[in-house]
């Protein structure tokens, strides 16, 4: 397997933080409860997958863990 670069790690972290920020912002007024539940599930699942990666170095994973419900 190829070594992951610091730039790639930063992009993955940024994408994970997008999920954190979306979750923390709460349900938009124009979104149904069912759509919000689906959005939460997909973003939390994404965070769980990202937290399982072994390439993290000194990134603060606490916001990811909290938003994922871990």
pTM greater than 0.95 (yes/no): no
Question: Is it the case that residue 24 has pLDDT exceeding 90?
Answer: yes
Supply the angle between the helices 6-25 and 33-51 in degrees, to the nearest 10.
Answer: 150
Cβ atoms of 19 and 46 within 8 Å: the answer is: yes
Query: How do residues 43-59 score in pLDDT, each as one tens digit?
Result: 999 999 999 999 999 99
């Amino acid at each position: 397997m190829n070594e992951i670069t610091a730039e790639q790690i930063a992009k993955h972290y940024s994408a994970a933080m997008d999920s954190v920020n979306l979750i923390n912002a709460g349900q938009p007024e124009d979104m149904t409860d069912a759509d919000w539940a689906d959005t939460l599930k997909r973003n939390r699942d994404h965070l769980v997958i990202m937290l399982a990666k072994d390439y993290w170095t000194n990134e603060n994973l606490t916001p990811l863990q909290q938003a994922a419900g871990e």
